[in-house]
Amino acid sequence: MSTCSGRALGAGPQQAILRAAVQKMTDEGALWTDAGAYKSLNFHGSKDGGLAKREAILKACGFLCHMHLAVLGVGPEPVSPFLLLAAIEGRRALTVDRRFIEVLDPGAFKSLKPWSDWVTAGCPEPRDHLHKVTTDLGRLMMEAGINTSYIQSPQLQIPERDGLERSLACRILVGDADPATHPDFRAFQSGFNLTAVIHPHLSISSEFSSRTKSFLGTVYNRKVKSAQDFLAHLHFEMTNNATEDQTRYELLFQERLRRYLLGQGHPIHEQLEGLLNPESDSDSEAASDSAVLRATLLLSMMSGSALMPLETNWQLKVYPVLYVRIPNRD
């Protein structure tokens, strides 16, 4: 199923509606807040629960995220993959996993790097508080609301260290040091966990069998990384029995489209003046030097999503349409 605008093919209505619903859902500032490169729950100041309307909406949010994954096969961006990891595997899955975090949000790992460096160094007792590693770590823990005295203990046990790491990772990546105790998270998790609704004796984590990180890394790491990667999936159809002039124009169009897609930012052209929205991410100054902006916008227009499909052999086909201008004889 697809929509058609003129002669430009787009995404199916279901895909477009799901993408728009997730975007609309995360625009609600009372429920969602920025968390690194993504958005996570804007945890309510009260943990007592009883906010029936809020919890019902968050259950619907969780359900919508699950549907987005099931129907589209891609992550429900901008919803944080770390929030989904916590919803599937629980708090124990949230660790300072450098490989996993850097793939999805390099900025988030940069924030957590002091802890990673400290653990890599063998968790030294911070006698010298001027030492860069311990100073940065202390600042990170204070920002996360975790007592720094715990890392100053000469008898820090491994279970204690691992628990601190999970609290730190949950606070930085999800927004709460122990999300499982918060009614907002429990409501979202309840809506997301469709398996438990259909089969009460099963849990959603059992479906993934400890492959959750691999799965999330795949469905979220779908942004256009280079224009060349996108061009490899662009397939140009040629007109059958075309004349020499037709073939020449079609090849010229292909060459110029490729050249356009390899350019940076929006093209400078008088016809574009006044059309760009300065408040839009794709129209901001940050996008002016982007080497993937044009490819991303074309992918979004043709498929309904700015994310690359999961399949490795997918194609976007471009069909030539030749218009012949007949001169007016009057």
| pLDDT, tens digit, 9 for 90 and up, residues 109-132 | 999 999 998 888 887 765 554 455
Domain match, 181 and 32 both? yes
Domain match, 136 and 49 both? yes
Question: Does the pLDDT at position 139 exceed 60?
Answer: yes
The label of the residue with tokens 């124990």 reads: 92
Domain match, 288 and 213 both? no
Domain match, 251 and 192 both? no
The tally of CA atoms less than 13 A away on the side-chain side of residue 118 is: 26
Query: Among 55-64, 114-123, 281-290, whose mean pLDDT is lowest?
Result: 281-290
| One-letter amino acid of 317 | K
- What pLDDT band is residue 7 in, cutting at 50, 70 and 90? very low
Dihedral pair phi/psi, residue 37, rounded to 5°: -80, -5
| Token pair listed for 234 | 């662009």
Per-residue pLDDT averaged across 226-245, rounded? Answer: 88
Domain match, 144 and 238 both? no
Q: Say how far apart CA 267 and CA 284 lie, in whole Å.
A: 13
Q: Angle at Cα 87 formed by Cα 83 and Cα 88, nearest 5°? A: 120
Domain match, 134 and 9 both? yes
Question: Does the pLDDT at position 273 exceed 80?
Answer: no
Q: What is the pTM of this model?
A: 0.70
* Residues sharing a CB contact under 8 Å with residue 162, sequence separation 6 or more, in sequence order: 95
Nearest to 285 by CA among 276, 296, 295: 276
Domain count, the chain: 2
| Highest mean pLDDT (candidates 9-23, 98-112, 202-216) | 98-112
- Residue 45, number of CB atoms within 10 A of its CB: 4
Task: State residue 4's pLDDT score.
Answer: 43
Task: State residue 132's pLDDT score.
Answer: 55
Domain match, 23 and 151 both? yes
Q: Which domain holds residue 204?
A: 4-220
Domain match, 158 and 238 both? no
Task: State residue 28's pLDDT score.
Answer: 94
Q: Which of 161, 191, 220 is the last residue of a domain?
A: 220
Domain match, 66 and 150 both? yes
Is residue 72 one of the residues assigned to a domain? yes
Q: Say how far apart CA 295 and CA 266 lie, in whole Å.
A: 11
Task: State residue 135's pLDDT score.
Answer: 79
Task: State residue 5's pLDDT score.
Answer: 42
Our separate counts of H helices and E strands in the chain read 14, 6
Q: What is the mean pLDDT of the chain?
A: 82
